[in-house]
Amino acid sequence: MIIYSGKKINVRKDEIILDDGRAVMREVIEHPGSAAIIPFISVNEIILIQQYRHAVRETIYEIPAGTLDKGETFDACAGRELEEEIGYRAGILEPLIILYPSPGILSETMHLFKATNLIKTQTNYQMDESIKGVVQIKLSDAVEMVKKGVIRDAKTVCSILLCLK
């Protein structure tokens, strides 16, 4: 049963039967899916954004990412978000992994990509975004930021660690 229907998500309440026969309720956030991109400006340097995230009430470091538009492919979403958020187009867009960001409550699949051979264009921030800055950083420095807890966004942590050689 849908208990909330929004612009990007729905929330539903399901009654399920566990293996031992018990009936329990689960709340599920339905999400259309998303793409996230770790952009390499050079062989050893990446671009991160600093963005305010209301759910955690912090400005955090993260890679460009966004929700699929209706009928859009994950590759197209990745390309669009990269250009919107940091003002670059990917010369090469390489799939890394498909994740479930929070499978206990969320149906979302997130496709992670690595972008290289970047071509400068211009940003096109969406009205509901709060991007505070774009930062160019060595991958090794980003790893240290992960270890120190400065970068805590899961998609960003995962992408940084997947790109280590």
- Per annotation, catalytic residue among 27, 58, 129, 144: 129
Residue 165 tokens read as: 């050689």
Annotation marks residue 83 as catalytic = no
Q: Which of the residues are catalytic?
A: 129
